[in-house]
């Protein structure tokens, strides 16, 4: 029931279309529009327009952008039980099914409990040798003075790693087809978020983009079911996510069905490689633009590693590299917005705004991370923002690349270790220069990726010769 006694300060927001609400502006320039919202206060109201109101039969339908970290903490942590994820477009639920990314309540808690041990502590570090050797093998293919598409290279690398984590096997020729199917799915998800018509057109309507999507995803699904069946028949135990899922039970104590296992595997396949690949791609891009940061990184790698490959134990000593990684995730958070949350009941936020039941809450790491209130000169790349001292002076919840609360990223520790080991391995071997004449802009699709392929020129480095070890 709505508590009529609670008074909310009037919330403002940018002017939007009466019929179409904020959607035309969001579609035209999503990232710019979110930043523009910062000027309208801690909580910004974005009306969804008359068309959506008629469609949903809901008066005053609106989304609320949170710009203040205490409100972010309230929604994601303190009062998280009052919020659930908003329904997603048909193509997104077709892909992820009932995997941990989209379930709610008891089922979601249970799935996290089952999966969490796999992604923590020693279990994660056990993969460090695999990651560095995959990175070393990939970089060995890059010829000196040739050009590579760094986004594609990073995606191939992180897909190979997650494939091993999930199935305990090397990725073979299926890599390219899988990448292509994922790209088609991403474009369709974006379209369904952007267009009401696209989002209400069922996937069985045989238009070319639906057919392309269905073809690609059936292929991935068939491969996943094949893995599940083969493994059910296999006698010997394996240490991978597939085996974990095969031995897991649901909330009623029953073994998981093939479909339930497929949903989790698909979730990890997608959530677990594209994000890390984009984080790395942006980091290479930034390093190519900031020569002095790259110099300092080279020096640190030289001091800590000399000419050997990194391992998980080195990471605590590669402090500057971690600051680079954090700053790159600040400027280009792969999860540029969290899933929209819907309020069950009316809720008063710490900054005073009152959200009505059914309010859609937008929490965008992109927007929070580029707010000049918490990050001076926010568009500048400056790893010093992540020195211990600088971090102590900043309020919590201003930096949330992995989300927060009960839905915080399950793969955070793994992603961080993987990203840092790949950075250290590659940066010790080559220098990457952005090929002249490219302008790179962030494009917000399922993840935040460069709007065009990022071409990099490879230059091999002899670390010990170029940078003698510091005594
Ligand atoms: C740099 C890399 C990554 C970033 C920036 C990232 C970011 C995020 C964020 C922000 C969320 C929360 C979404 C929300 O609250 O709406 C999330 C959830 C999730 N991530 Fe990641 N992620 C990364 C890598 C990974 C990896 C490597 C895996 C798996 C191996 C993974 C698995 C998941 C899963 C399963 C969830 C759903 C958790 C839940 O709802 O309980 N992520 N990720």
Q: What digits encode the pLDDT tens for the residues 72-97? A: 999 999 999 999 999 888 888 889 99
Strands 62-66 and 360-362 turn out to be: parallel
Residues 403-412: what's their mean pLDDT? Answer: 96
pLDDT at residue 463, as a whole number: 55
Q: Among 122-126, 246-250, 440-444, which is the least confidently predicted range?
A: 122-126
- Nearest-angstrom CA–CA distance, 358 and 360: 6
Asked whether the predicted pLDDT for residue 29 surpasses 70, the reply is: yes
Residues 117-142: what's their mean pLDDT? Answer: 90
User: How many angstroms separate the alpha carbon of residue 249 from the centre of ligand 1?
Assistant: 23
Residues 275-287: what's their mean pLDDT? Answer: 98
Mean of per-residue pLDDT scores for the chain: 91
- Nearest-angstrom CA–CA distance, 181 and 177: 6
> DSSP string covering 277-300, please?
HHHHHHHHHHHHH-HHHHHHHHHH
User: How many angstroms separate the alpha carbon of residue 2 from the centre of ligand 1?
Assistant: 34
pLDDT at residue 1, as a whole number: 43
Q: Which long-range contacts (CB under 8 A, 24 or more apart) does 322-326 make?
A: 322/386, 322/420, 323/383, 323/384, 323/385, 323/386, 323/387, 324/283, 324/286, 324/287, 324/293, 324/297, 324/383, 324/423, 325/279, 325/283, 325/416, 325/419, 325/420, 325/423, 326/383, 326/385, 326/386, 326/399
pLDDT at residue 147, as a whole number: 97
Asked whether the predicted pLDDT for residue 340 surpasses 60, the reply is: yes
Asked whether the predicted pLDDT for residue 10 surpasses 90, the reply is: no
pLDDT at residue 310, as a whole number: 95
pLDDT tier for residue 470 given thresholds of 50, 70 and 90: very low
User: How many angstroms separate the alpha carbon of residue 438 from the centre of ligand 1?
Assistant: 30
pLDDT tier for residue 229 given thresholds of 50, 70 and 90: very high
Asked whether the predicted pLDDT for residue 174 surpasses 70, the reply is: yes
pLDDT at residue 465, as a whole number: 41
For the CA of 329, the closest atom of ligand 1 is 5
Residues 387-391: what's their mean pLDDT? Answer: 96
More confident residue, 249 or 196: 249
- Nearest-angstrom CA–CA distance, 219 and 185: 13
pLDDT at residue 3, as a whole number: 46
Q: How many CB atoms lie within 10 A of CB 300?
A: 19
Contact present, 86 and 339 (Cβ < 8 Å) = yes
Reported as a single tens digit per residue, the pLDDT across 208-222 is 889 998 999 999 999
Contact present, 432 and 150 (Cβ < 8 Å) = yes
> DSSP string covering 345-363, please?
S-EE-TTS-EEPTT-EEE-
CA 135 to chain centre: 21
pLDDT at residue 185, as a whole number: 86
Residue nearest to atom 13 of ligand 1 (CA): 338
> Is residue 343 classed as helix, strand or coil in its secondary structure?
strand
For the CA of 341, the closest atom of ligand 1 is 16
Tell if the pTM clears 0.85, that is, is over it. Answer: yes
For the CA of 405, the closest atom of ligand 1 is 15
Which ranges in 61-173 belong to alpha helices (H)? 69-73, 90-96, 105-115, 121-125, 128-140, 150-167
Asked whether the predicted pLDDT for residue 186 surpasses 90, the reply is: no
- Nearest-angstrom CA–CA distance, 154 and 379: 24
Reported as a single tens digit per residue, the pLDDT across 347-361 is 999 999 999 999 999
Structural domains present in the chain: 1-89+336-378+400-408 (3.30.43.20), 98-331+410-466 (1.10.630.10)
- Nearest-angstrom CA–CA distance, 450 and 448: 7
For the CA of 115, the closest atom of ligand 1 is 35
User: How many angstroms separate the alpha carbon of residue 326 from the centre of ligand 1?
Assistant: 16
CA 386 to chain centre: 20
- Which of 338, 411, 416, 422 for mutating ligand 1's site (highest number of atoms within 8 Å of CB)? 411
pLDDT at residue 469, as a whole number: 38
Residues 250-257: what's their mean pLDDT? Answer: 91
Asked whether the predicted pLDDT for residue 331 surpasses 90, the reply is: yes
Q: What percent of the chain is predicted at pLDDT more than 90?
A: 73
């Amino acid at each position: 029931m709505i508590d009529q006694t609670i008074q909310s300060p009037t919330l403002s927001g940018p002017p939007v279309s009466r019929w179409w609400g904020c959607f035309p502006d969001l579609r035209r320039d999503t990232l710019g529009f979110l930043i523009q919202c910062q000027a309208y206060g801690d909580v910004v109201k974005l009306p969804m327009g008359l068309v959506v109101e008629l469609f949903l039969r809901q008066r005053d339908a609106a989304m609320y952008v949170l710009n203040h970290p205490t409100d972010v903490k309230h929604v994601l942590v303190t009062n998280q039980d009052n919020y659930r994820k908003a329904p997603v477009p048909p193509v997104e639920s077709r892909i992820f099914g009932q995997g941990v990314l989209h379930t709610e309540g008891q089922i979601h808690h249970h799935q996290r409990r089952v999966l969490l041990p796999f992604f923590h502590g020693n279990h994660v570090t056990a993969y460090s040798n695999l990651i560095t050797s995959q990175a070393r093998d990939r970089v060995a293919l890059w010829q000196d003075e040739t050009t590579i598409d760094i986004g594609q290279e990073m995606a191939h690398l992180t897909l190979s790693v997650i494939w091993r984590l999930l199935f305990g096997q090397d990725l073979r020729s299926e890599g390219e087809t899988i990448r292509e199917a994922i790209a088609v799915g991403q474009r369709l998800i974006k379209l369904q978020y952007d267009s009401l018509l696209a989002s209400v057109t069922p996937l069985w309507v045989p238009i070319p983009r639906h057919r392309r999507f269905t073809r690609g995803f059936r292929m991935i699904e068939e491969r996943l079911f094949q893995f599940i069946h083969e493994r059910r028949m296999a006698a010997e135990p394996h240490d991978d996510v597939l085996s974990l899922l095969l031995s897991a039970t649901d909330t009623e104590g029953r073994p998981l069905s093939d479909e339930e296992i497929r949903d989790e595997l698909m979730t990890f396949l997608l959530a677990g490689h594209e994000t890390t690949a984009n984080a790395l791609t942006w980091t290479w891009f930034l390093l190519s633009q900031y020569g002095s940061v790259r110099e300092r990184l080279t020096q640190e790698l030289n001091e800590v590693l000399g000419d050997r490959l990194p391992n998980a134990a080195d990471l605590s000593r590669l402090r500057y590299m971690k600051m680079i990684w954090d700053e790159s995730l600040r400027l280009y958070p792969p999860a540029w917005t969290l899933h929209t949350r819907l309020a069950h009941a009316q809720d008063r936020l710490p900054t005073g705004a009152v959200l009505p039941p059914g309010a859609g809450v937008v929490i965008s790491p992109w927007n929070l991370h580029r707010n000049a209130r918490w990050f001076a000169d926010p568009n500048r790349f400056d790893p010093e923002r992540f020195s211990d001292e600088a971090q102590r002076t900043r309020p919590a919840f201003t930096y949330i690349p992995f989300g927060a609360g009960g839905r915080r990223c399950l793969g955070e520790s793994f992603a961080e270790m993987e990203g840092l080991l790949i950075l250290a391995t590659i940066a010790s071997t080559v220098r990457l220069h952005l090929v002249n004449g490219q302008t790179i802009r962030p494009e917000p699709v399922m993840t935040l990726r460069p709007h065009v392929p990022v071409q990099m020129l490879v230059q091999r480095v002899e670390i010990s010769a170029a940078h003698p070890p510091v005594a």
